[in-house]
Structures are given as structure tokens and as C-alpha cells.
Structure 1
Amino acid sequence: MESRRMRPWAALGVLGLIGTLSACQKPVEPVDEVRPVRTQVIAPQVVSGQAELTGVVRARIESPLSFRIAGKLVERSVDAGSRVAAGQALARLDPADASLSATAAAAALSAARTQLAQAKLDHQRATDLLAKNFVSKAEVDRSQTALNAAQDMLRQAEAQAKLAGNQAAYSVLHSDAAGVVTQVSAEPGQVLAAGQPVLVLARDGAREVEVAVPENLRGTLKVGQALQVKLWAVNGKTFSGTVRELAPAADASSRTFPARVTLADADGAVQLGMSASVLLPTAGKSEAAHLPLTALLDQNGQKKLWRYDPASHKVGSIPVKVVSVTDDGFLADGVAPGTVVVTAGVHLLREGQTVRLIASGVAAAKPGV
């Protein structure tokens, strides 16, 4: 039994040998990953001050259509996106109540006419009897008063009958002008109050771009000012526009000033709801470098670029100011000319990381390389 057990001095020798071997091994140093990147040399160019406001194409006149009387909606013949003509029937209320009111008004009118005819006969009879001294003058005066009252009641009944007839016609909602239905807010079976919107009609005619102007650009706009409007859905085509409306007070929630820009040369390609950019000139000119969007790094709301050091082949972050965003990139300000910045793979880099250029040499680097 004793021969199978390891003696204490032997166990200590084994542990000492393991410790000696561990001390002889060198620590493994982590290998810094070298990432390939593309670079571009900053070459500023003079650009005119210009801002772009994003807006939506709307109709000059957008009318919420509603019934003039209350009732139950039994039919709606159009949907959102339907094109309608002037005078076209769009929706209909249950006509039962309006028909009963028209019938009652017609009966009241007939009764008023009968009463007027009787009052005329009574007055004529009283006048004839007065000539023969069979009645007093007071009786003739009473008949004259009754005749005047009957005439007034007839005029009232005629007005009530006309009103009831109009209300019966109001049970059908017609389009005031040609246009397109942009919104529907009532369905058949719904009981509507008088004046409750049923749908919104965008009338044919002038087209406008609705934009929200920030506070810092409010002073650069004025009513009647000519602007350029770009529509992205029409291959970026530019149209001429004029500021027609500019709110004098900011919106309470967005703190922006609503404005409307009328398109002077809008054609059939301009459709409602298209996205548009209103090009707003600003004061002065500045020097900015054009870079692809892949070069921009956003860290906690701060815009940065990765600067490449040709001597150490390492990168470091530098702050940058975005002047504006273009079709194929952005204009950057605040970076010294000749600085080499990374234009691809910026989200995979870290401060002081060693990189490898995909292009052959920094001196030969060109924009986008």
C-alpha cells in the first residue's frame, strides 16, 4: 500500500518542476488587428451658403367636405385616391327624416294659402257690408288685420317649405370642384353631425410644397421670394417656386414656422404627396470638403472623422462640422486641407488602431479612393 502512494518529498518535487517550466514561458502579447481602409485627402472648395428644407407636395386648396344636416350615412361612392368631377355625388344620408320635414313644410304652405284666401273673402265681405251700414268700421279693421296676418303666415310657410326642400337636397353630398380625394373619415352606417368632415378633397390646380422652417432660417424667407424646389421622385428635377405663405408665429409643438411654396411650372409629373427639397439660400460663402457619407462617424451625437497618420499608419478621431448633405455625400467644414481621412470602415476602427491602405500610397490618394 505504501508503494502506491506518492511520498511527500516526491509531490513537492513535481510541483517545483511545474513552477520552473511555467516561469520559463514568455507571456503571449495580443496581436493588434490591422484593418484595410480607404482614404481621401481633404481638399476644400468654395461653396455658396445653401440650406435644404424637406417638404411634401400638397394642393393649393384642400377642402374638408361635410353634410349640412345631421343623419345616418348610408352610402359613400368614393375612396381615398379617387378622382372626382365637379358636381359628382360623393356620399348620401338616409333621406327619410328630410323627406318627412319637406312633406310637413309643403302641407303647412298649403294651409297658409287657404287661410289667406279665407281672410281675403272675409275682408271683402266686411267692406261691402260697411258700404251698406250693416257693420261698423271696427269690424272692417279686424278683417284687415286678419288679412295681413294671413299674408305674413304665407310668407313664413313659403320660407319653411323652401328650407325643408333644401335640407332634403342636402342629404346628398356633391363635389364643389374637380380634384382628388386625399382622406376619408366616415364610413356607411355612421351617424354624423352637421358639419362633421366626411372626406378631404384636393382640388385640381396649383401645387405647393409645405415645409417647416426652423427658427434660425426664419429671417432668410419672405413672402414672394423666388426659390428652387427639387423633386426626388422626378429624377431630382428642379422646379421654380415662390413663397406664398409664411406663418408669423412658430408652431407650439415643433417650434418651426409653417410655409407654403407655390410651384410655378408644375406639370403632370408632380403628384400629391411627393417628397420635395426646397433650396434655401443663406448668407455668405464657405470652404468645405466633399466627402462620402461612409466617412462620417456619429458618436453620442458628435460628428467625427478618422484621420490617418502616414508616419505611424494609425488613426485618430477629429471633430467635423457637417455643412449640408448632398446627393452623393456631405460637405464637411473644420478639417485642415491636406488631412488624410478614412472614407470606408469607420465603424470598425478604434482610437490609435493601425490600418492598411487599400490604395497604393497616400500621396496618390484621390477623393473616394
Structure 2
Amino acid sequence: MRQDRQGFPAAAAAVAGLALALSLAAPPTIAAEPPPAAVRTLVLEPPAAQATRRFFGRIAARDTLDLAFEVGGRLVSLDAPQGARLAAGTPLAELDAAPFERAVARAELALAQAERDFSRAATLAERDAASRARADDAATARDLAALALEEAREALGHARLAAPFDALVAARLAPAFAFVEPGQAVLRLHDMSRVDVVFELPERLLTEIGDVARARFVAELPGVVAPVPLTLVEIRAEADRIGQTFTVTLALPDAVARDPRLVPGASASVVASVPADAPGIAVPASALVSGPNRDAALFVLEGEEPAIARRRPVTVRSKTGTGFLVEGVEPGVEIVAAGAHRVSDGQAVRRWTGLVVEER
């Protein structure tokens, strides 16, 4: 069978013409509009009458004392269990009293002899049988013997230790039957006559508050349901060298302080409230946008889904650099809280409410 050499070009031209005709007959493609941008929103709350801050604190005793004997000797009694709460005057420890009792007996004998010597010397001096100077020397020896007896009795009294205040035994620092030197600590006691809460106040917050006495403090304690009011005791007028903080001491009420769970070193949260000085409504930093002139603004939502974002100029204040107060909007207004940098004035947006999982 013979085929025309011109058949192939003619067929290709026919196919191309058919494709062109089909393309002209097809309806034009319309690009789909992108969905409104999803943004997280926030309804502005009325400005707070008080500014609050939360701090990490700890329970502390009024004072902590390392108890020691003023004399040396062998420790024969140490009746102070660690963690025990003891009333003031409770016996705690005792040294071997035998050496001190012998010292008292020697001092008593020496005083008796000195008194007899003085009596004889004074009688002889009155009869001019001895010099008056000898009688004076005997009187001095008698007085010295009396002082020696007083010191011996005082040393005997120092051989016993008693709780100087209502105490919590923190630690035993020496074992029983050990020989202790004068001034060597044997017990560590916490003075529980007042229980405090201590926390560190940063310098920038102290500058913001001003007078700490105008702040109201409450504590949130483990095992205590309701917040506990605290009384300001003192603020250390010397900043910590590392953290640049000031130590604030607050006292717990007596009724709460007797709780056996509140031991020195236990954790506590302190909430400080001060009257709000600066006007404005608090907003997150992610809600603020700036324009070409570095003026601040928020995007206020109008309408339902999809809502329209309208740019609203505001005045911004910040004392700490982390919290922001704005003026120019009223409470109850819904704003773009996150994603504001992707929004333009008049843009349609939808409220992002989180991920929704459909179960089938």
C-alpha cells in the first residue's frame, strides 16, 4: 500500500488545530480566594484596682541559735531529739557535774579559812598585837575567796543547758559522752516564738512599689486552704551582691504559726498586692503592632465570623518592660492577641479556637 509523504505533516496540523479549538471553548479558570487568616483573640478586661506579684518564699524561725556550754567537760546527758518542740526552760544537756561540785567544795573551805584568818588578824590589830596592814591583807584574801566560791558555783550552774525560748531542735552537733570545750556548739535551736515567711524582692520591683509598707501580703502555705495574711516585720536595707535583691521578712499569725508542718526551710508562696498607680488596660506584647512612625496600635475586631480587623492607635506604658498598659481602647473590646503582625487594616479574620478532633 502506498502512503503519501505529505500525510504526516498534514495530520499533525489537524491535531494542533483541534487542541486550539478545544482550549478556546473551555471556560476560564477562576482562582479561589484564600480563607481568612486565623488569629487568637482576647476580650479586654477592666483595669485592675491592684497590681499583684507572686514570689517564692520560705518559712523561717525568728532566730536560730547554736547552743554551747560556757565551761568544758564530759557530756553525760543530751536529751533533745531532733525535730522536737520544747518549751522555754526545758533541760537539754548536762556535763559531768562531779568536777564542778568538788571545785565548789574547795572554794567553800578556802573561804572558811580566809574568814578565820581575817577574824584573828582583826582581833590582833585591835589589841595592837599585830599591824593593821596584816588585817587588811587578811580581808583581801577573804574577799578573793568569796569571789572564787561565786565563780565555782556559777561554773556548776553552767554545766547544765536549758531551752532559752520556745524552741524547735534543729540538729545535735555533738555526740553524748564526748568531751566538749567551752563555747563548742552542741545543739542548734530555732526560736519558734514567731514564725516568719522570707522572700527576695528584686530591686526593680522595689523601685516600682516604693514604700513596701503600703503593700498587702498573703501567703499560700502547703496544707492550708485559705491564703494567710502576713505582717511586715522588716526589709533588709542591703542588696544581695549576686541577685541584687532585698530580703523581706513577714510574720505569720500566731494561730497559724503553731502548725507543726511549718518548719524552717519549708516552701511558701507570697502574693503581694499594691494599689495600681498607672492608668490603662493590660495587654500582651504579642497584641501590639507598630507603624512606620513607630506609633503603637491594636487590631480591634468588628462583626461575627469572619470578623473585620480595624487598626486602633493606642498609647502604651510599661514600668518593667515585660507588662504593658494601653490607653485608647475600652474594656470589653475584642482584640487580636496573637498573630497581629500578619493582619492589615480592614482584613477579614477568623477566630482561632484551637484544634478540633472529629470522632467517626
TM-score with structure 1 length normalisation? 0.59
Is the CA contact 2:41–2:352 (under 8 Å) kept in the aligned structure 1?
A: no
For residue 161 of structure 1, the aligned residue among 145, 149, 164 is 149
Do structure 1's residue 279 and structure 2's residue 271 form an aligned pair? yes
- Within 2, Cα distance between the matches of 1:172 and 1:242? 37
- Within 1, Cα distance between the matches of 2:167 and 2:223? 22
| Correspondence for 1:150 | 138
- Structure 1 residues 254 and 175: CA distance shift in structure 2, 3 A: same
Q: Which amino acid aligns with 2:136?
A: N
Do structure 1's residue 243 and structure 2's residue 235 form an aligned pair? no
- Within 1, Cα distance between the matches of 2:74 and 2:240? 36
- Structure 1 residues 340 and 211: CA distance shift in structure 2, 3 A: closer
For residue 185 of structure 1, the aligned residue among 144, 162, 173 is 173
CA displacement at 1:164 relative to structure 2: 0.8
- Taking only the aligned residue pairs, the percentage that are identical comes to 21
- Within 1, Cα distance between the matches of 2:98 and 2:323? 69
- Structure 1 residues 227 and 265: CA distance shift in structure 2, 3 A: farther
For residue 229 of structure 1, the aligned residue among 218, 223, 245 is 218
Give the match's secondary structure for 2:193.
coil
Give the match's secondary structure for 2:250.
strand
- Structure 1 residues 339 and 203: CA distance shift in structure 2, 3 A: closer
| Correspondence for 1:338 | 336
For residue 98 of structure 1, the aligned residue among 97, 100, 109 is 100
CA displacement at 1:158 relative to structure 2: 1.0
Q: Which amino acid aligns with 1:271?
A: L
CA displacement at 1:190 relative to structure 2: 4.0
- Within 2, Cα distance between the matches of 1:122 and 1:108? 21
| Correspondence for 2:112 | 110
Do structure 1's residue 207 and structure 2's residue 195 form an aligned pair? yes
Aligned pair count? 259
TM-score with structure 2 length normalisation? 0.60
- Structure 1 residues 248 and 337: CA distance shift in structure 2, 3 A: same
| Structure 1 outlier segments of 4+, above 6 Å | 331-334, 366-369
Give the match's secondary structure for 2:222.
helix
- Within 2, Cα distance between the matches of 1:221 and 1:61? 28
Structure 2, unmatched stretches of 5+, are: 1-38, 285-317, 326-333, 340-349
Residues 191-237 of structure 1 show CA distances to partners (whole Å, capped at 9, x for unaligned) of 43323332233334332111222222233364644522222313452
Is the CA contact 1:69–1:194 (under 8 Å) kept in the aligned structure 2?
A: yes
Structure 1, unmatched stretches of 5+, are: 1-38, 128-138, 290-322, 324-330, 342-361
Q: Which amino acid aligns with 1:287?
A: A
- Within 2, Cα distance between the matches of 1:42 and 1:257? 36
Q: Which amino acid aligns with 1:175?
A: A
Residues 269-328 of structure 1 show CA distances to partners (whole Å, capped at 9, x for unaligned) of 472234222222365465146xxxxxxxxxxxxxxxxxxxxxxxxxxxxxxxxx9xxxxx
Give the match's secondary structure for 1:57.
strand
For residue 256 of structure 1, the aligned residue among 225, 245, 250 is 245
- Structure 1 residues 233 and 122: CA distance shift in structure 2, 3 A: same
- Structure 1 residues 226 and 109: CA distance shift in structure 2, 3 A: farther
- Structure 1 residues 85 and 363: CA distance shift in structure 2, 3 A: same
Matches within 5 A, 1:342-357: none
Q: Which amino acid aligns with 2:96?
A: D
Is the CA contact 1:207–1:266 (under 8 Å) kept in the aligned structure 2?
A: no
RMSD after superposition: 3.8
- Structure 1 residues 207 and 276: CA distance shift in structure 2, 3 A: same
Q: Which amino acid aligns with 1:59?
A: A
- Within 2, Cα distance between the matches of 1:256 and 1:192? 40
- Within 2, Cα distance between the matches of 1:256 and 1:61? 21
Is the CA contact 2:194–2:254 (under 8 Å) kept in the aligned structure 1?
A: no
Q: Which amino acid aligns with 1:217?
A: L
| Correspondence for 1:53 | 55
- Within 1, Cα distance between the matches of 2:171 and 2:210? 31
| Correspondence for 1:136 | none
